[in-house]
Amino acid sequence: MGPNQISVLVPSSSDEAVAAFGDGTDVTVVAGGTIVMPEVAAGRLRPKSALLLGRAGLAGITRASGKVTIGAATPVSELAETDAPLAQAAAHVGDIEVRSQATVGGNVCAESSEDTPRGDLQAALLALGATVRSAGKGGERSEPLEDFLADGTGRLVLDVSYDDAPRQAGYAAVWRPHSHHYTILAVAAARRDGELRVAATGVAPRAVLIDPDDPLAGLEPRDDALASTWYRTQLLPRLVARALAQLEEAG
Ligand SMILES: Cc1cc2nc3c(=O)[nH]c(=O)nc-3n(C[C@H](O)[C@H](O)[C@H](O)COP(=O)(O)OP(=O)(O)OC[C@H]3O[C@@H](n4cnc5c(N)ncnc54)[C@H](O)[C@@H]3O)c2cc1C
């Protein structure tokens, strides 16, 4: 294979995808491609090996054994049939064109760029206490999303899941309403069995769990083309208050 050639892997099952991914060395996963493909087109990313997930059987949402499980290749647009605050977060991702193409796994693995925040679903999934199942170095493993996000990337996400149980939830976000928009800042909250989890996206490179009594503790919100650190610092406590008010209203 020449230096400018890319090997394109198109697995037709999750087992094949896991085998093709191996330990992830030199493999670029392409799911919806809404982040990867512009990078390739601009020449900033030159994959040696591209693993296309579209036919790997990793899409779909199931409710079984007390869990909601969402395959990594599930389009963001299909999350409307999930639960608060995930369904609301999904509805705010880009526009219908982006949501139809973008996947859950791509969002969970997304890191914000210099210009724009990404990973809106991460905050909602953190609030839901979601678990990520992934494959790669050391084999398959399942771990809380916060551990996966802290550990970085380099693994193949197979699915995300959370308890299929009644809970109160709230979601508050700010964005500029136009086509192809990005969410500037968002807060997702969920309470179940007295445990309150609150998370924010648009603050740091990936979503973070926050203390609702002191939302800015240990955080200096990002500064980018959409909003300044000052603006986000003013906004975050207000969005937390809004999300929590919604959660209380929910019952
Ligand atoms: C116009 C526009 C508007 C947007 N607005 C928003 C927004 O409002 N909110 C938001 O959160 N995002 C937004 N995005 C960013 C992006 O569309 C989403 O984050 C989307 O969910 C990414 O999913 P994807 O499948 O397209 O990812 P891809 O581009 O396929 O992949 C993204 C990254 O994740 C990796 N990856 C993908 N799937 C897996 C997997 N299963 N396992 C391991 N690694 C994987 C890829 O290698 C790559 O590093 C926007 C993008 C555009 C172009």
Burial of 190 (0-12, 13-18, 19+ CB in 10 A): buried
Helices (H), 130-192: 145-150
pLDDT digits (tens, 9 = 90+) for 121-172: 999 999 999 999 999 999 999 999 999 999 867 999 999 999 999 999 999 9
For the Cβ of 45 lying below 6 angstroms from any atom of ligand 1, the answer is no
Cα 206 to averaged position of ligand 1 atoms, centre (Å):
12
C-beta separation of 159 from 130 below 8 A: no
pLDDT digits (tens, 9 = 90+) for 113-131: 888 899 999 999 999 999 9
- Using the atom order of ligand 1, give the atom closest to the CA of residue 37: 29
C-beta separation of 75 from 103 below 8 A: yes
pLDDT digits (tens, 9 = 90+) for 173-220: 998 877 788 999 999 999 999 999 999 999 999 999 999 999 999 999
For CA atoms 112, 118, 120, 121, the dihedral sign is: negative
Identify which of 34, 53, 149, 201 to mutate to test ligand 1's pocket (most ligand atoms within 8 A of the CB): 34
Identify which of 8, 9, 27, 109 to mutate to test ligand 1's pocket (most ligand atoms within 8 A of the CB): 109
For the record, the structure tokens of 154 come out as 């380099």
- Using the atom order of ligand 1, give the atom closest to the CA of residue 155: 43
pLDDT digits (tens, 9 = 90+) for 1-39: 666 788 999 999 999 999 999 999 999 999 999 999 999
Cα 111 to averaged position of ligand 1 atoms, centre (Å):
9
Identify which of 29, 48, 97 to mutate to test ligand 1's pocket (most ligand atoms within 8 A of the CB): 29
Q: What is the pLDDT of residue 3?
A: 66
Pairing of strands 49-52, 61-64: unpaired
For the Cβ of 123 lying below 6 angstroms from any atom of ligand 1, the answer is no
Q: 3-class SS at 98?
A: helix
- Using the atom order of ligand 1, give the atom closest to the CA of residue 103: 25
For the record, the structure tokens of 144 come out as 């809380």
pLDDT digits (tens, 9 = 90+) for 221-250: 999 999 999 999 999 999 999 999 999 998
Identify which of 93, 141, 143 to mutate to test ligand 1's pocket (most ligand atoms within 8 A of the CB): 93
For the Cβ of 198 lying below 6 angstroms from any atom of ligand 1, the answer is no
Cα 194 to averaged position of ligand 1 atoms, centre (Å):
33
Q: What is the pLDDT of residue 151?
A: 85
For the Cβ of 170 lying below 6 angstroms from any atom of ligand 1, the answer is no
Q: What is the pLDDT of residue 250?
A: 82
For the Cβ of 172 lying below 6 angstroms from any atom of ligand 1, the answer is no
Instruction: Name the one residue in this structure whose structure tokens are 């395959």.
Output: 71
d(CA 234, CA 25): 42
